[in-house]
């Protein structure tokens, strides 16, 4: 070959032994050895790599690892994982893959705000409507399904974001199975280190892997986990055609983060409990929501399905909006950031940040008060966190 051809041509892979870490396959397409091989693969594009929007070895490996974590200790043997570009795209891919125009989704009113907007403002434009009920009320769930045969999916998150309500996973999965509808859960807050919904009969699990699975705030991706191969093709086809695929770099970062997942979740949980216990006795705090506290109304439900209580909590400072703002400005260790699940402590004031544009009556009806502070408790020394929060509360 001449000079220009040599410049363009990839060098031969000199690898003699396999790498200890999963490689990043930074390629948009994959090369066939012959036209016959290409024809064979295009007949069944799921069985081999063609184009990175369809699949990528790094992404596939990490998706399958998340599926293995979610199915660990369960009777599920065919779990599969599809990674997407974000947690939001995981939700939309699942819905578009399984539902059609005229179908409805039964869900809770206190979902993460972005999920609520997606379901009510986007999905409804394509003929997929939403029915809201308190999913902790068994009779309300049964009545809603029996009254509307177009409900085809129940979708929920537990604990809820940011109010930390806890829904009985087994109850929802049982009702869904009895009525022949699909059940799907967002397990981002807990991860499989704390809660494995397949144990209770859930059909699909969603993750914003941006959060605890990654754990370091350096990438954005999502995941859909299914427990049977029956509907995998529908979900995979939606991902491929809508273009919600994850990229190799963010998948690789998620894999690196998952190496310490269980250790991190243990520390997040220990710190979350200690900080919530401290705040529950503070004179400047009206209320603390942490599922590890016996005072939480859903504590027993959490005990049933969670083996730790995680790092997510919220509390209400005195002084309403102004009290919340003063606290936020006085914190020095906790970072003011609109995310959660990182190794460092992250705090959010929903009334002035994530729910700023939500009608106040709706916000209050879902337990998101003016003085509520959401805390993603990190893995710092707990003494430093308590001292920092104590100083910040003195400013309220």
Q: Could you list the pLDDT tens digit for every one of the 396 residues in the chain?
A: 888 888 889 888 898 899 999 999 999 999 999 999 999 999 888 889 999 999 999 999 999 999 999 999 999 999 999 999 999 999 999 999 999 999 999 999 888 888 988 999 999 999 999 999 999 999 999 999 999 999 999 999 999 988 899 999 999 999 999 999 999 999 999 999 999 999 999 999 999 999 999 999 999 999 999 999 988 999 999 999 999 999 999 999 999 999 999 999 999 999 999 999 999 999 999 999 999 999 999 999 999 999 999 999 999 999 988 999 999 999 999 899 889 999 999 999 887 776 666 677 777 777 788 889 999 999 999 999 999 999 999 999
Whether residue 336 contacts residue 328, with contact meaning beta carbons closer than 8 Å, is answered with yes
Q: How far apart are CA 151 and CA 216, in angstroms?
A: 38
Euclidean distance between CA atoms 129 and 122, whole angstroms: 10
- Longest Cα–Cα distance in the chain: 79
Pick the catalytic residue from 60, 165, 168, 186: 186
Distances (CA, A) of 246 to 54, 89, 119, 224, 340: 10, 10, 22, 11, 20
Residue 240 annotated among the catalytic residues of the structure: no
Q: Which of 53, 120, 287, 318 is catalytic?
A: 53
- One of 112, 204, 212, 309 is an active-site residue; which one? 112
Hey, where are the domains in the chain?
35-258, 261-393
* Residue 6 CB partners (closer than 8 Å, separation 6+): none
pTM above 0.85, yes or no: yes
Assess whether 25 carries a catalytic annotation: no
Q: Is 211 a catalytic residue?
A: yes
In CATH, 35-258 is 3.10.310.30: no
Residue 40: active-site member? no
As assigned by CATH, the class of the 261-393 domain is alpha beta
Q: Do domains 35-258 and 261-393 have the same CATH topology?
A: no
């Amino acid at each position: 070959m001449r000079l220009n051809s040599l410049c363009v041509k990839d060098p031969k892979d000199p690898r003699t032994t396999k790498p200890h870490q999963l490689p990043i396959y930074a390629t948009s397409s994959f090369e066939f050895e012959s036209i016959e091989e290409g024809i064979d693969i295009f007949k069944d594009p799921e069985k081999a790599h063609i184009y990175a929007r369809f699949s990528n070895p790094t992404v596939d490996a990490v998706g399958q690892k998340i599926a293995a974590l979610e199915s660990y200790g369960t009777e599920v043997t065919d779990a599969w994982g599809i990674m997407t570009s974000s947690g939001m795209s995981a939700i939309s891919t699942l819905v578009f893959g399984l539902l059609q125009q005229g179908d409805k989704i039964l869900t809770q009113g206190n979902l993460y705000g972005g999920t609520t907007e997606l379901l009510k403002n986007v999905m409804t434009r394509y003929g997929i409507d939403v029915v809201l009920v308190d999913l902790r009320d068994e009779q309300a769930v049964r009545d809603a399904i029996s009254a509307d045969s177009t409900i085809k999916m129940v979708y929920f998150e537990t604990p809820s974001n940011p109010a930390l309500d806890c829904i009985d996973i087994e109850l929802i999965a049982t009702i869904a199975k009895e009525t022949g509808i699909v059940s799907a859960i967002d397990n981002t807050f807990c991860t499989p280190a704390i809660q494995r919904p397949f144990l209770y009969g859930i059909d699909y699990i969603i993750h914003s892997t941006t959060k605890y699975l990654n754990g370091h705030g350096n990438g954005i991706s999502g995941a859909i986990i299914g427990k049977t191969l029956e509907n995998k093709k529908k979900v995979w086809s939606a991902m491929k055609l809508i273009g919600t695929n994850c990229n190799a770099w963010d998948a690789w970062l998620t894999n690196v983060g998952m190496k310490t997942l269980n250790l991190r979740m243990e520390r997040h949980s220990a710190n979350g409990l200690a900080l919530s216990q401290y705040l529950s006795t503070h004179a400047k705090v009206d209320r603390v929501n942490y599922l590890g506290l016996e005072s939480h109304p859903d504590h027993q439900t959490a005990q049933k399905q969670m083996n730790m209580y995680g790092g997510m909590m919220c509390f209400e400072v005195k002084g309403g909006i102004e009290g919340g703002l003063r606290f936020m400005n006085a914190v020095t260790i906790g970072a003011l950031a609109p995310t959660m699940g990182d190794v460092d402590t992250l705090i959010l004031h929903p009334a002035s940040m994530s729910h700023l544009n939500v009608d106040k009556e709706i916000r209050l009806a879902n337990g998101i008060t003016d003085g509520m502070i959401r805390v993603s408790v990190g893995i710092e020394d707990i003494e430093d966190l308590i001292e920092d929060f104590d100083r910040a509360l003195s400013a309220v």
